């Protein structure tokens, strides 16, 4: 399992965990459903990676961008818990996905040049 798959697996469980935490702390069913769905989508994207790598990564990036968009306003209003933590984690995962894409394209180009 590559480093990016490990990051995405941890992020999926993080999303689920934060949804459960929102439900436990504030009784928010919306947090439970949204966190659970986002986490499951990221984990399912990992399971479909071998068959559809591009679609898998796009789905994971879409979820990270959605999470950043949802929690950015509260983060920038200095609400660091839980909004800031979720925003920063989602941003870090988005950067990892972009970095993984760039590294993959560079490896692919090097492989094609070697032929």
- pLDDT band at residue 71 under the 50/70/90 scheme: very high
Helix axes 3-26 and 29-47, enclosed angle (nearest 10) = 170
Give the per-residue pLDDT at 1.
67
Percent of the chain with pLDDT over 70: 99
**Alpha-carbon gap, residue 50 to 69, rounded angstroms:** 29
- Quick: pLDDT tens for 38-47: 999 999 999 9
Give the per-residue pLDDT at 79.
92
């Amino acid at each position: 399992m590559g480093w990016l798959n490990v990051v995405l697996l941890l992020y999926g469980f993080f999303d689920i965990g934060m949804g459960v935490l929102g439900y436990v702390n504030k009784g928010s069913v919306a947090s439970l459903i949204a966190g659970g769905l986002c986490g499951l989508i990221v984990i399912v994207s990992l399971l479909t990676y071998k068959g559809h790598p591009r679609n898998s990564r796009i789905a994971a990036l879409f979820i990270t961008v959605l999470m950043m968009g949802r929690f950015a306003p509260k983060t920038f209003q200095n609400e660091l818990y839980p909004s800031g933590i979720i925003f920063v984690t989602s941003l870090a995962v988005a950067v990892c996905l972009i970095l993984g894409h760039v590294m993959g394209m560079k490896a692919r180009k090097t492989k094609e040049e070697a032929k």
